[in-house]
Amino acid sequence: MNTLRFPEVTTSYSLHNHSNFSDGASTLEEMCRAAKSAGLTVFGISDHWVEPAYAGTGTESWRMAHDRLDEYVETLQKLKRSLDDDNFTLKIGLEVDFFFENMDDIFARLKQYPLDYLIGSVHCCGTFPVDHDASDWLPLPPEKRDAICEMYWQKLEGAAKCKEFTFLGHLDLPKKFAIIDNDRYLAHASRVLDILKENGGAIELNTSGWFKPCSAPYPSLDILKAACAREIPVYINADAHHCDHVRRNFTEALELLQLAGYKNRA
Ligand SMILES: [Zn+2]
Ligand SMILES: [Zn+2]
């Protein structure tokens, strides 16, 4: 992994991206070629790896099939051999869903593969799909929404404690549909950041939120400022699900990080 050190940020890496091995629209080859054409120097694919510890999550529709990991890694290794040069490095990663119940088993299985990095994310609170659709949230009374957010941040604390994750994905994801009051959970985010600081972890500025109902990247400027105050490294990522989006809003992301106190590496 090409790791960033606080306070540097760069717009020439992008490590959170999906292909049609999970819920992306483009092939691995289309994604990698687009990244190279866009001038990225380090590009990582991180398709969804979800091994739910219980039934009913409905994650089959968007995660990688469990019997395709060999094919995924082999295809990326082949692309790496043909595309890597002095100015471009392809990295092989996964975005892994955190579950308290079975993380040790998941990490043990993934360690058998030559993966460069793992992103730790939470998309499921129990069987509730946090970022699937606004219609999942809308019928819920405020106390139920709050309970889901509480569980979300509790799970993220668990993920922050895992030293196997290179960084955590889209920290304040529950704000996606602009239904909850995200500011209520700033103290929760601070607890996650404290744990990351203690464990040498990192976060991302995920630009995809700009194109969702919340019209803001993950996480918010307040959380980025709190991360900067703790000297936590940040990766700018597109969370691209299409080859046209591998570097989407990176200039805006850099500006926001500079506002939070980070410095451009270049
Ligand atoms: Zn995600
Ligand atoms: Zn993602």
Kindly state the percentage of the chain with pLDDT values over 90. Answer: 98
Structure tokens at 255: 């500006």
Name the closest ligand to CA 122.
Answer: 1
Distances (CA, A) of 73 to 25, 46, 148, 165: 18, 11, 34, 18
Partners of 117 in the beta sheet? 93
pLDDT in tens, 46-85: 999 999 999 999 999 999 999 999 999 999 999 999 999 9
Q: CA torsion sign, 18 to 50 to 65 to 112?
A: positive
pLDDT in tens, 174-195: 999 999 999 999 999 999 999 9
Report whether 18 contacts 65 (CB < 8 A). no
Look up the pTM and report it.
0.97
CA–centroid distance, residue 66 to ligand 2 (Å): 17
CA–centroid distance, residue 6 to ligand 2 (Å): 23
Cα gap 199→161, rounded to integer Å? 7
Name the closest ligand to CA 131.
Answer: 1
pLDDT at 3: 87
The mean pLDDT of 166-173, rounded to a whole number, is 98
Given a cut of 90, is residue 265 above it in pLDDT? no
Residues, CB-to-ion distance under 5 Å, ligand 1: 121, 169
CA–centroid distance, residue 95 to ligand 2 (Å): 6
CA–centroid distance, residue 84 to ligand 2 (Å): 23
CA–centroid distance, residue 48 to ligand 1 (Å): 8
Where does residue 185 fall: left (phi above 0), alpha (psi -120 to 50 degrees), or beta otherwise?
alpha
| Domains (range + CATH), the chain | 8-264 (3.20.20.140)
Cα gap 43→124, rounded to integer Å? 27
E strand or H helix at 246, and its extent?
Answer: none
CA–centroid distance, residue 120 to ligand 2 (Å): 10
The mean pLDDT of 104-121, rounded to a whole number, is 98
Distances (CA, A) of 4 to 11, 54, 86, 108, 155: 12, 36, 19, 26, 25
Structure tokens at 65: 């099939």
Residue 180 CB neighbour total at 10 angstroms: 21
Mean pLDDT of the chain: 97
